Structure 1
């Protein structure tokens, strides 16, 4: 009994306690690495699956919070996804459900940046594992199952086995990827709308529900994500640059 209490006590200390701040150069290098992954087509094509997981998870979470019945989530090898929920086909619940997708990766990244700014690397990593486990329960296709399991296994392995410095590097790279990678899909969305139309996109569905033009919704996605990126830069990159130059 005492051993079990000690185990839970150690876990609580690890989750809720703080870890030493990493060197400023690590913060800068992980930001540069995340930017490179997002910028280059080859790496983006693979890494974009992580943004899709967050995107569809955002739809699912808000659908549940809005009182809709979540039917399932599908993730596809072309990095697209689909979240199906049941309820009123219009109204605020449906609007917020559609709105959540494109802004969730950036908002998750901003929340992660705040945790890192308070030196809570372990809490960030274990919260990420918990979210992926919950999402796994709603996956309804094989590719989606594989993508979420691999993502969860990677985060779990780092959380459980890696040294603190490696955990910090992974956590910072992960957060930078979310806030930087959350911006690019908004541009890709508008490019599709310009070139060949995208009537089933979140922006166009929102337009039909609200009579607000789709380009306005794309602009809202972009502004929210750019604001999240700016705040993350202020929380993490600015202190690191100040430390190096000061």
Structure 2
């Protein structure tokens, strides 16, 4: 393979792309809210949030020296990440804590890349993360979910026009920022309906840290809301430069 062509392709991948039309940023934000807020669609799109959630658990399990065994994704859009290591201590706490904030923090990362014009980097980084998750998925539904998401991202990044790529990337970023909040609300709603339930991340953290589970729910909510504000600002800031309506 010609090293010059590889270097040129790599440079094109990292090069910033022109800012998208101002209307695309706003339209994708509105579409993301519909995907999160409209229940029939949410039942489908929530699977992408579960992938990010379990990916967060898996990443911090590895970062803290735990042994990652398996990721499973279920048809009810729940998931489970299995790792082994010390059952208490900072590593276990960080692993349990990483799930709910993961989609929000990933959304902020996407927003930072998009705000600097790195649409291609964002899409290919997503593919790399999906491949990393795929290696540890251990059930058929989980494999299909990750493969479908990967095929969608690859198709857009390889065959899509610049406008389509930008629209897809902004939609994904807005979706993660908005969608991260809803599972936290659902978590607390489920804890209210089933007060004896102890298998949630918040309840697991309560046992590990001796802090109330509700405090951990509030922590998840604050992280997700802060991420939504920061990510939204990163993506909307260029809009002020692109359209007089949004200029101060």
TM-score of the pair, normalised by structure 2: 0.96
Instruction: Specify the alignment match of 2:58 in structure 1.
Output: 60
1:175 corresponds to: 173
Contact 2:21–2:242 (Cα < 8 Å) also in 1: no
Q: Does 2:193 match 1:222?
A: no
Number of residue-to-residue matches in the alignment? 244
Q: Distance between the aligned counterparts of 1:20 and 1:242, measured in 2?
A: 13
Give distance in 1, aligned partners of 2:18 and 2:29: 19
CA contact 2:115–2:238 (8 Å) conserved in 1:
no
Mapping for residues 83-232 of structure 1, pairs under 5 Å:
83-197=81-195, 198-232=197-231
Q: Cα deviation per residue 1:129-155 (whole Å; 9 max; x = unaligned)?
A: 001011110000000000000001100
Question: What residue number does 2:235 align with?
Answer: 236
Aligned to 1:77: 75
Q: Give how far 1:238 is off.
A: 4.3
Q: State the Cα distance separating 1:240 from its structure 2 match.
A: 1.8
SS state at 1:71 partner: strand
1:215 Cα deviation after fit: 0.3
The alpha-carbon deviation at position 211 of structure 1 amounts to 0.5
Structure 2 gaps of 5+ residues are none
Aligned-partner SS, 1:200: coil
Shift of 1:177: 0.5
SS at match of 1:20: coil
CA distance in 1, matches of 2:162, 2:241: 23
